[in-house]
Amino acid sequence: MKFITIDKNNWTKGIDKSRETYQLFGPVKDENGCLIKKLDSDVQPDMGYYESVMSAKSVLFPQTEKILSASLDESLEDHHIMKRAENDYSPRAVLGIRPYDAKAIALVKLNFDTKEFQDPYWCDAYDVTVFVGLGITRPGPFDFSTSVGTGPFCEDDLDILLADLDDHYLAKILTPKGDAFAITCGFDTMADEKESQVLFDILRKEAEKNITSRVEINKLKDKTILDLHEADFWDDLAFSCINCGTCTYVCPTCWCFDIQDEARQKQAFRFRNWDTCMSPLFTRHATGHNPRGTKVQRVRQRFMHKLKYFLDKYDQGIMCVGCGRCVKSCPVNIDIREVCNMMNAYEKQN
């Protein structure tokens, strides 16, 4: 681990230099707010952004991704044989990712990269990606990251963590991948390790003090799934919810997807697309039977998966990094913080 300082003029030059080796992704503002997008060759990341509407999850798990293809041309020997689509897995770097969004990638990894199974598309993208984090000095009002195992200067799953110090960045290089990116950019002005760490600690404590929103999760592990299933608050939540799915699309830890096949002239393709457990179609079987056919079942599934099933299965905390996007975006003001606290406090009535 080492620290370097990067003058902001050199930052721009270094980032431009890195484009020869890396595809760059970063915050870009448009009329819909700030998104983490692939940067065109003449676009610099907007490192002064406050919050992003969407996280960086699409860098590894695109909203639509071609995964298989086949030729339908019967004159070819291998016609109708599905093969892995040729996607681009050249090195990429995500600039300015928020620490809680990097932590979300670590949680999602538990699903896509297990001991038994590896999702080749997600894993290949993950292997070539460098995560350059940007510490949060002005946490938003919906941020409750400190109560769910992350925070404004959390280093989990980052390769570099930057602190914005007005005219320059102080960068903490956390992994060899991060080091290789810094070398490619030509960032090599070493900073004193001890002093830099003290500064990072001060910034982290200051930012953490400004996060006043929190959830209680200490009793979730002790609850039984069956007891929680029977809680009466699910009906009230389902009554309000319109099943729009917004909360799942903006969430950095949601990974539901659907598979679609398409044929165009003499080519067939298989795509995977983001989907949502809030949609009745998501679980409808070909027979017409739907194991989660009612709204209350779907609403309960979303919160139980995030706050109970995931916790029990992996013992790595809840499947939520406290970014607050779903709270901010829900059109009917359903608030995962309230649901979490209700689940945590729930006692079955005998």
User: Any idea how long the chain is?
Assistant: 350
At closest approach, how far in Å is the CB of 157 from ligand SF4?
Answer: 14
CB of 335 to ligand SF4, least distance (A): 9
Which one, 185 or 336, has the nearer CB to ligand SF4?
Answer: 336
Nearest to 138 by CA among 233, 37, 208: 208
The tokens 């050249």 sit on which residue?
Answer: 90
Residue 329 C-beta: closest distance to ligand SF4, Å: 6
State in angstroms the smallest separation of the CB of 125 from ligand SF4.
Answer: 20
Task: Decide whether 92 or 325 has the Cβ nearer to ligand SF4.
Answer: 325
Give the closest residue to 250 by CA, choosing from 28, 36, 55.
55
In the bound state with ligand SF4, the residue whose beta carbon lies nearer, of 6 and 304, is 304
Give 171 or 254: the residue with its C-beta nearer to ligand SF4: 254
- Name beta bridge partners: 269: 69, 262
Query: What backbone torsions phi and psi does residue 288 show, to the nearest 5 degrees?
Result: 100, -20
Query: What is the rounded distance in angstroms from the CA atom of residue 72 to the CA atom of residue 78?
Result: 9
Residues with Cβ within 8 Å of residue 31, at least 6 apart in sequence: none
Q: Where are the beta strands (DSSP E) in 31-103?
A: 33-38, 64-71, 83-84, 92-97
CB atoms within 10 A of CB 262: 10
Helix axes 336-345, 233-240, angle to 10 degrees: 170
Least distance to ligand SF4, CB of residue 307, Å: 9
**CB of 302: closest distance to ligand SF4 in angstroms?**
7
- The C-alpha atoms of residue 170 and residue 134 are separated, in whole angstroms, by 10
| Coil, helix or strand at residue 296 | helix
Which of 135, 245 has the CB closer to ligand SF4? 245
Q: What is the dihedral of CA 220, 221, 223, 224, to 10 degrees?
A: 130
Cα–Cα distance measured from residue 49 to residue 184, given in angstroms and rounded to the nearest whole number: 25
* Cβ 134 to ligand SF4 shortest distance, Å: 17
Return the number of the residue (48 or 331) whose C-beta is nearest ligand SF4.
331
Q: Which residue's CB is nearer to ligand SF4, number 137 or number 246?
A: 246
Residues contributing to the site for ligand SF4 (CB under 6 A):
241-247, 250-253, 278, 306, 320-326, 330-332, 334, 336
